[in-house]
Structure 1
């Protein structure tokens, strides 16, 4: 757009020198030719086109000197492409025209040469600065995006570490309750039973039985609480990674995309599926690569276990007790279970949420 504005300014200024008051079609030819060549150079924006059209117009300037009156418009393309040799030839053609037909008004052509150069220099400088500004802006945006991604990764890592620390603390509390409180309650129950065995006073028998029942009830409650703490403290990702450590002889690909709030029964189901699936691969497959995908969707959980083993080797394993147990475990959670033989053996299961 800046280049078009510059050319319009030069064209208007040079057109003034064409007005001489005589009735002639030559100024029209000069105007149309210079305007057409300038439009071609702007449209194609190629060095070869500028050289060809420029040489053609310079030839016209030597053959028909009045064409020099609009030479500053052509010079703008020379300056843009830095064709200084063509500019020198154009200046020579202009000086020749001034010596042949000198008029004071024609001296303004030299001023328009300078104007063409200044406008070209200004536009070129502005475009370079604009390009640098865009590069700086893009780099700044890229850096901001990188920083945002890094901050997001740090926050996710921090949240995961907090979650993992919470699970470890739950495990520690469960062990403490089991080892200390559980043992003391067990000892108290045994001591109460011993007192009942040696007691000869019938008046104390009922209170001792009541104490024993209370201790047994407390023991059951603590046992359930410990089991709940332990079950909730299971980290599915770490558990799967730990299972895969026993299969280092295989090339494994593990993709995990699950939230932290996974129901306990779903965790145990997925862990069982992975253990049984890996066991089947070891027993019935000649695979070398195992792929495990565990994903959470808005309405269901999904798991896929596949390998690159020979399908013929898998045919005998497509209907086994292990697969039946896997299917029963998934169906107990109202899920779907499928297997397929396609470039290896695949196990696919989906479990709906809120089961």
Structure 2
């Protein structure tokens, strides 16, 4: 059998059904014991009362009610001998339902039966009662084991959910690290192409142009040199376009924000990114503003938590950064206001405002009112015309 394959089917434990079967067996065995006494109306009444007592003991939900039913059955057994045949019902209930007061008191009515001269009936009822005690103890142990297994199952299920959540977190973290590594590699390749191949092509163009000037415009080789220069110019433009594409692809605003927000020292940040890929200028501005806002919140506002939200709307992108630091402490020497100007704001707020307004957007810094401490940085960026 495989380690993860299900085992053989096992009948689940059903407490009420198993106790009903046990009581049926005890009632069936009690009938021959009852016949050891003279048969009469009392025998029929004893059988019917035993059936009713078994049902009442099972349906009752409180221990005092069960004790009262069992005591009534044992009291009748002490007075009328045929009822002693069903004292096993009370003995079974005492052990199955953990009725401490009756676990050892049930044989007392059988002593009265023996004193009345029904020794055989008393002996048979005592043996049946001992069997009932064993069956009741087994039913009790099964119920306790079922509860223990249920608790164990719940604990295993909870642990499995925790491990699954950790596995998802690790997978997301791994994907983020892989994506960051890919973006870093793209940026490195772009730098290598720009610094090496681009410079070599530029030097080749200059050398070809210098050779053309040295040979003169009328020389036959000049036309060939011009063709080579044109080819090198085309190659240089192609390399530049490829470098720009690689560099643009290396900027993933969402990944960069996740790395910045989750790993910013001193501030526990959360990111809500509800937008498609941001255009490169807007992405760079968003990263710069978020970095400055988190730095100000940690250094000047002593913030512990920050929330960054990037939301895309039909005509613009919205950036909101909220922290729980000291309100109005976005930058040293800055004045808290809803509209940031160079005269009233510090360098940090001025820099963030200039980045937003350079792209045609808006910027504001607002202290949060009580009971919410901290401050809010709010910026909008209009979409490029083709995207809008």
Q: TM-score w.r.t. structure 1 length?
A: 0.72
Find out whether 1:223 has 2:236 as its counterpart: no
Map of 2:105 onto structure 1: 89
Shift of 1:143: 5.6
- The separation in 2 between residues aligned to 1:62 and 1:246, in whole angstroms, is 81
How many pairs does the alignment contain?
343
- The separation in 1 between residues aligned to 2:80 and 2:259, in whole angstroms, is 90
Map of 2:251 onto structure 1: 234
Map of 2:308 onto structure 1: 293
* 1:276-301 CA distance string (max 9 Å, x none): 36657859xx855362335799x999
- Farther off after superposition, 168-177 or 46-55: 46-55
Find out whether 1:347 has 2:360 as its counterpart: no
Find out whether 1:207 has 2:224 as its counterpart: yes
- The separation in 1 between residues aligned to 2:165 and 2:106, in whole angstroms, is 57
Find out whether 1:313 has 2:313 as its counterpart: no
Map of 1:11 onto structure 2: 27
Structure 1: tracts of 5 or more residues without a match? none
Shift of 1:4: 2.0
Find out whether 1:2 has 2:2 as its counterpart: no
Alpha-carbon contact 1:337-1:350 (below 8 Å) kept = no
- The separation in 1 between residues aligned to 2:85 and 2:222, in whole angstroms, is 129
- The separation in 2 between residues aligned to 1:306 and 1:60, in whole angstroms, is 78
1:35-74 to 2 correspondences below 5 Å? 35-74=51-90
- The separation in 2 between residues aligned to 1:212 and 1:255, in whole angstroms, is 53
Which one of 182, 185, 188 corresponds to residue 169 of structure 1?
185
Alpha-carbon contact 1:182-1:222 (below 8 Å) kept = yes
- Farther off after superposition, 274-283 or 229-238: 274-283
- The separation in 2 between residues aligned to 1:80 and 1:246, in whole angstroms, is 59
Alpha-carbon contact 2:307-2:322 (below 8 Å) kept = yes
Q: In structure 2, do the counterparts of structure 1 residues 163 and 118 end up closer, same or farther at CA, with 3 Å as the change threshold?
A: same
Q: Which has the higher contact order (CA 8 A, sep 6+)?
A: 1
- The separation in 2 between residues aligned to 1:118 and 1:134, in whole angstroms, is 24
> If each structure's helix is expressed as a fraction of its own residues, which one has the higher value?
1
Find out whether 1:263 has 2:265 as its counterpart: no
- The separation in 2 between residues aligned to 1:350 and 1:94, in whole angstroms, is 94
- The separation in 2 between residues aligned to 1:92 and 1:10, in whole angstroms, is 19
- The separation in 2 between residues aligned to 1:91 and 1:141, in whole angstroms, is 46
Structure 2: tracts of 5 or more residues without a match? 1-16, 329-334, 342-348, 370-374
Shift of 1:89: 2.8
Shift of 1:233: 1.9
- The separation in 1 between residues aligned to 2:264 and 2:175, in whole angstroms, is 29
- The separation in 2 between residues aligned to 1:138 and 1:257, in whole angstroms, is 33
